[in-house]
Copies of this chain bind each other. A is one copy, B any other.
Amino acid sequence: MARGINKVILVGNLGNDPDTKYTQGGMAITRISLATTSVRKDKDGNQQERTEWHRVVFFGKLGEIAGEYLRKGSSVYVEGSLRYDKYTGQDGVEKYSTDIIADEMQMLGGKGDGGGGGDRPQRSAPAQRQDSAPRRQQPATQQAPMDDFADDDIPF
- Footprint of B on A, CB under 8 Å? 1-13, 34-40, 42-43, 50, 52-54, 75, 77, 79, 81-84, 86, 93, 95-98, 106, 108-110, 117-119, 141-142, 151-152, 155-156
A-B contact pairs, 30 of them (CB 8 A): A1-B37, A1-B118, A3-B12, A3-B13, A3-B37, A5-B10, A5-B12, A5-B77, A6-B10, A6-B12, A6-B36, A6-B38, A7-B9, A8-B9, A11-B77, A38-B81, A38-B156, A40-B155, A43-B151, A52-B82, A75-B108, A86-B141, A95-B96, A96-B97, A96-B98, A96-B141, A98-B142, A108-B109, A109-B110, A110-B110
